[in-house]
Amino acid sequence: MSETAVLVASSLSASLGKRVVLHDISLALPGRHLVALVGPNGAGKTTLLRVLAGLLPSKGRIEVCGDALSSLSLQERARRFSYLPQGHQIHWPLPTKDVVALGRYPHGAIDPGRLTDHDAAAVMRAMQMADVTDLSDRRVTELSGGERCRVALARVLAVEAPVLLADEPTASLDPRYQIEILIKLRATADSGTLVVVVTHDLGLAARFADIILVMSEGRLVSQGPPADALSEAIMSEVFRIRTYRADHEREIVLVPWAEV
């Protein structure tokens, strides 16, 4: 890649118990890109995301913003990566603004009620980007699923990390909210952040991502622009399907169509 890589992985492998779940993965991902991580169930997508963030042990080397991940303190890792896990589950009946303010914890903001001007401005930017400012004082446990998803996104945006990792952020959402979340993640990438998204929706991945990473059985088997990474050969070999392909409004349309 001609762009400077923000996140680099070299010869990564990882095990869960005695089972090797990631095999010799290498990649180099630049900022201002939205990267979709796709593959069948059990391919290792979530494991790779967690390994990249340093949340699971691994062999190999990971660099973020030019520094070895292993050389960074836990707090510094939390400043470099914002991580959105699956589910968006929030059980405490906190006001939305306080949940979003938790994103400033890696920067030393331990009390949402006593934010510095700098932290408060970051929280407001995140809430505006995720379109949740009107929910500021509502308890997050009273929100709809789509609203909670946007609040969870605002929390990770408030970290203002150079890398945002999101694990199936559109799962269980209706089509409107799926598109809305991808539009916001696309805007986040365009603003300068490297955004890596795990998704099972190949159509949304093809439409919004700059780079597709395809995993199968713990290996990275294809990577590149959507049209190349999701070739008919890969769709057949990895996903065991044929697809319908077209262009609409200058964007790729990819629809899973039939079994192979």
Q: What's at 256, amino acid-wise?
A: P
Task: Kindly give the confidence (pLDDT) of every residue in the chain, 260 residues in length, as a single tens digit, with 9 standing for 90 and above.
Answer: 447 899 999 999 999 888 999 999 999 999 999 999 999 999 999 999 999 999 999 999 999 999 999 999 999 999 999 999 987 677 789 999 999 999 999 999 989 888 999 999 999 999 999 999 999 999 999 998 889 989 999 999 999 999 999 999 988 888 988 999 999 999 999 999 999 999 999 999 999 999 999 999 999 999 999 999 999 999 999 999 999 999 998 888 999 999 99
Q: Answer yes or no: are the C-beta atoms of 137 and 196 closer than 8 Å.
A: no
How far apart are the C-alpha atoms of 158 and 105, rounded to whole Å?
A: 10
Rg (CA), the chain: 18
Cross-strand pairs, 62: 9
Residues 1-65+162-175+194-259: name the CATH superfamily: P-loop containing nucleotide triphosphate hydrolases (3.40.50.300)
Distance of CA 123 to CAs 84, 98, 101, 193, 195, Å?
16, 9, 6, 17, 19
Q: Answer yes or no: are the C-beta atoms of 158 and 123 closer than 8 Å.
A: yes
Task: Compute the residue count for the chain.
Answer: 260
Q: What is the pTM of this model?
A: 0.94
- Tell me, what's the pLDDT at 253? 92
- Torsion 112-56-199-222 (CA) sign: positive
